[in-house]
Homo-oligomer: A and B are copies of this chain.
Amino acid sequence: MSSRFSKTIALGLLSGSLAVPAVAQTPPGDQSAVQASQAIAARKAVYTLIGNSFSPLGGVLQGKTQFDAADALKRAERVALLASYSQEVYPEVSKTGNTKAKPEIWEDRAAFDKRLQEFVDHSNALVAQLRKDKNNADAFKAAATTVANDCKGCHDQFRAK
């Protein structure tokens, strides 16, 4: 890699061309606050996109929208990738801040991690089902319902109203 490219990237990253707060440049005392707000921002972004991606699938489950296998697969792949992303956005430091995440997440971490893992597994199962037998609307609905119930179950237990 030429140093010209390297410099371009460095400048791009440092000048905020990418939306990444520069933790390393923050005084040590403020680092945990930055890390917390960064994790909370990532968390909200992950769930905004999970919600938007699942919404059309929920529409099919509710009978509002026609089942479209190709579209369902695209949305399900997004949900699955974002589900695995969600496992990284609950560091201990982000327990407090502007968040609806309940303290129980960190107090009963094993129970919370189990829920997230179920969400990941069921999202992957939904993708696998759509790849295996894409025109089977009933099998899609069963697999997508399991995912929807994971969302609801975890929100009921670990998200403040």
- Which residues of chain A have a CB within 8 Å of any CB of chain B? 1, 5-6, 8-10, 12-13, 17-20, 38, 41-42, 44-52, 54-55, 58, 61-63, 77-78, 81, 85, 138, 141-142, 145, 148-149, 151-152, 155-156
Whether the Cβ atoms of B50 and A18 lie closer than 8 Å is yes
Query: What residues of B have a CB within 8 angstroms of the CB of A155 in the complex?
Result: 12, 17
Contact of A55 among B10, B20, B138 (CB under 8 A): B20
Distance in angstroms from A135 CB to nearest chain B CB is 16
A9 touches B58 (CB 8 A): yes
- The A contact surface, by secondary structure, is helix
Complex contacts, A62 vs chain B, CB 8 Å: 6, 9-10, 13
Is the beta-carbon distance between B148 and A12 smaller than 8 angstroms? yes
Q: Chain B contacts of A145 at CB under 8 A?
A: 1, 5-6, 9
Q: What are 24 A-B contacts with C-beta separation under 8 Å?
A: A1-B61, A1-B138, A1-B141, A6-B63, A9-B61, A9-B149, A9-B152, A10-B61, A10-B62, A12-B148, A13-B55, A13-B62, A17-B152, A17-B155, A17-B156, A18-B58, A19-B48, A20-B54, A44-B45, A45-B45, A45-B49, A46-B49, A49-B49, A78-B81
CB distance from A7 to the nearest CB of B (A): 10
Contact A5 B54 (CB under 8 A): no
Partner of A19, one of B47, B77, B142: B47
Task: Give the Cβ gap from A18 to chain B, nearest Cβ, in Å.
Answer: 4
Residues of B within 8 A of A152 (CB): 8-9, 12, 17
